[in-house]
Chain A
Amino acid sequence: MEHTAEDIVLDVRGQICPACLLITLSELNSNKERLKGEKARLVVKTDHRDATRTIPGAAFAMGYSVSVVQKERHYEITLEHEK
């Protein structure tokens, strides 16, 4: 897939995620303009399985499309403006 958008990476691997969801939401809030303007995507790297279940619901409601890819030892959750 072709995209020129910059990736904002939120790497919370190896941390006992302090409410991974809340941090992601906070990140979506502070980068709202760039994300909505399709200048950037937010990539969350986490080894916390629960996050793959909590993030998509909230992100959908906010108008982001979510894709979750399982890497060898972590998950990569990509959030971008839903077209």
Chain B
Amino acid sequence: MSSAGKIEETDLRTSNERLKKYIREKVNHLLSVMGTKPLNKEELDDSTLIELDPIGIIALSFEQVLEHQKETNRRLTVAKDQLQAVFDTVGVCISIIDEDMRIVNCNEKQKELLVSSNTKAIGRHCYDIYCGKDSPNLDCPAVETLATGKPVFIREVKKKHKHFQIVTSPLNDADGKVTGVIEVSMDVTEKKKVEELMRQAEKLTAVGLLAGGIAHELNNPLGNILGYATLLLKDRESGLRPEHREKLEIIVEQAKKGGDIIRGLLDFSRQSVPSFSNVPINDIIRKTVRTLQNRFSSQRIKTDVVLPETFIVRADPRQIELVILNLLLNSIQAFEGVNGREKTISVRTGRENDFVQVTIADNGPGIPEEILPNIFDPFFTTKPIGKGAGLGLSICSGIIKEHKGSIHAGSEAGKGTEFVFLLPAAGPASG
């Protein structure tokens, strides 16, 4: 062989070697991408390296890898959509909160109940967004779970005037460190309201029975006092001196007043059956305001009564008068101690679907938020002994309930108080 031929052969061999090395490297590289180990030299000798066409095989396998990946992605998307739908439509609030108490994610229910519509909740502090506070509550279950790493089962917490039952569980990273909390909460506000109403109704029934019983017992002796005093007054032969006659008249007057009180108690215990008729509510309002005119003027209270339209309600006028009287009296009494500014009581009427709405408002001191839930309770009063029995509002609520209406109070401390009650309208809205 010529030396030139030898050189050519060596060149060919080296280039062959380089090619095989290249193929081997690429095969191993591709295999490692597929998630497996490189091949040993014994597993793949040089001749099979070429015969087997490894790169061809791997290329085809890659096709399957990609198809599988696509399928997996599709399934993940479906699963994610399903989970999101569950997340959002489940009837409870779900939030994921990180260790700094920032909201990582929350579902639609959570937003609906505690996030105002234009607020972005994600990334903000949960106590800011959900509780409207600048630091977490002392009894916050999320704080506890973050601190202890343990779940908290069903704690009742108040957030923005709503009551929630909350369960929290920790989110851990691979090392078991707590990195956040999942908080699931259920709105129990309505349930609590119903419970509260039940409690109040029970109390009212008990008190009503008691009051009714006493009123009945008192009615007879009081009737006798009134009867005998009247007899004596009418007896021309009794030879009463004028000053005695005057005292007797006071006895009759006071006995009548006592009778009114007893009738009120019977109203309260609902042992006097209301007699319903169709009555214009404005007339009752005007009449009651007139009764109190002296007290308004002597206490320099302005009345602002605007009743532009005639509304007919199905009601017992005597009982509704009692309601309005109680509400006006409360407002008058609330102004005691208020001096040096204008004192106004306003009365409005309006139509609310099948109901007529009456609003009685004052710009008095208002009712503190913490006692607002109790004011309709019988015997609840903030007034000194002898000034208030705490029966006024519970009588009102009893009467309104009997009329199949509703009554509620709203108040802002320092600004005033507003009582609104609804009575079934008699007939369709006028106009």
Give A residues with C-beta under 8 Å from B.
16-23, 25-26, 28-29, 32, 50, 53-58, 60-63
With A18-B44, A26-B57 already in contact, 17 other A-B pairs whose C-beta atoms are closer than 8 Å: A17-B43, A18-B52, A19-B39, A19-B44, A19-B52, A21-B36, A22-B54, A22-B57, A23-B52, A50-B43, A53-B36, A54-B39, A58-B35, A61-B65, A61-B68, A62-B64, A63-B71
Chain A contact residues: helix, strand, loop or mixed: helix
* Contact A21:B64 (CB < 8 A) given known A26-B57, A61-B34, A63-B71: no
> Which B residues are CB-close (under 8 A) to A53?
36-37
* Contact A29:B52 (CB < 8 A) given known A17-B43, A18-B44, A58-B35: no
Query: B71–A19 contact, CB under 8 A?
Result: no
* Contact A54:B36 (CB < 8 A) given known A28-B61, A63-B64: yes
Q: Is B67 an interface residue (CB 8 A)?
A: yes
Query: B71–A22 contact, CB under 8 A?
Result: no
Instruction: Report A81 CB to chain B, min CB distance, Å.
Output: 10
B43 to chain A: closest residue by CB: A19
Closest 5 A/B residue pairs (Cβ) = A63-B68, A57-B36, A57-B35, A62-B64, A29-B60
Query: B36–A58 contact, CB under 8 A?
Result: yes
> Which A residues are CB-close (under 8 A) to B42?
16
B135-152 toward A: CB 8 Å interface, digit per residue (1/0)? 000000000000000000
* Contact A63:B52 (CB < 8 A) given known A19-B43, A58-B35, A58-B61: no
**Which of B36, B58, B67 has the most A CB atoms < 10 Å from its CB?**
B36
Q: Is B40 an interface residue (CB 8 A)?
A: yes
Query: B39–A21 contact, CB under 8 A?
Result: yes
Instruction: Report A34 CB to chain B, min CB distance, Å.
Output: 13
Chain B contact residues: helix, strand, loop or mixed: helix
- A-B interface pairs (CB < 8 A), number: 74
Q: Count residues on chain B whose CB falls below 8 Å from chain A CBs.
A: 24
> Which B residues are CB-close (under 8 A) to A56?
36
Query: B36–A22 contact, CB under 8 A?
Result: no
B61 to chain A: closest residue by CB: A25
Give B residues with C-beta under 8 Å from A.
31, 34-37, 39-40, 42-45, 48, 52, 54, 57-58, 60-61, 64-65, 67-68, 71-72
Query: A54–B37 contact, CB under 8 A?
Result: yes
Instruction: Report B69 CB to chain A, min CB distance, Å.
Output: 8
Instruction: Report B38 CB to chain A, min CB distance, Å.
Output: 9
> Which A residues are CB-close (under 8 A) to B31?
21, 54, 58
Instruction: Report A69 CB to chain B, min CB distance, Å.
Output: 20
12 A-B interface contacts by CB (under 8 A): A18-B43, A18-B52, A22-B54, A25-B57, A26-B60, A29-B57, A29-B60, A57-B35, A61-B35, A61-B65, A62-B65, A63-B64
B64 to chain A: closest residue by CB: A62
Please report the C-alpha to C-alpha distance between residue A80 and residue B58 in the assembled complex, in whole angstroms. Answer: 19
Query: A20–B34 contact, CB under 8 A?
Result: no
Please report the C-alpha to C-alpha distance between residue A60 and residue B42 in the assembled complex, in whole angstroms. Answer: 25
Query: A62–B52 contact, CB under 8 A?
Result: no
Instruction: Report A59 CB to chain B, min CB distance, Å.
Output: 9
Query: A19–B65 contact, CB under 8 A?
Result: no
Instruction: Report B65 CB to chain A, min CB distance, Å.
Output: 5
Please report the C-alpha to C-alpha distance between residue A53 and residue B31 in the assembled complex, in whole angstroms. Answer: 13
Please report the C-alpha to C-alpha distance between residue A32 and residue B65 in the assembled complex, in whole angstroms. Answer: 12
> Which B residues are CB-close (under 8 A) to A19?
39, 43-44, 48, 52, 54
B39 to chain A: closest residue by CB: A19
> Which B residues are CB-close (under 8 A) to A22?
39, 44, 52, 54, 57-58
Instruction: Report B318 CB to chain A, min CB distance, Å.
Output: 78
> Which B residues are CB-close (under 8 A) to A57?
34-37
Instruction: Report A67 CB to chain B, min CB distance, Å.
Output: 17
> Which A residues are CB-close (under 8 A) to B37?
53-54, 57
Instruction: Report B18 CB to chain A, min CB distance, Å.
Output: 21
> Which B residues are CB-close (under 8 A) to A61?
34-35, 65, 68
Please report the C-alpha to C-alpha distance between residue A26 and residue B56 in the assembled complex, in whole angstroms. Answer: 9
> Which A residues are CB-close (under 8 A) to B60?
25-26, 29
Please report the C-alpha to C-alpha distance between residue A23 and residue B68 in the assembled complex, in whole angstroms. Answer: 20
* Contact A62:B44 (CB < 8 A) given known A19-B54, A57-B35: no
> Which B residues are CB-close (under 8 A) to A17?
43
> Which A residues are CB-close (under 8 A) to B35?
57-58, 60-61
- The 8 Å CB contact of B40, one of A50, A58, A63, is A50
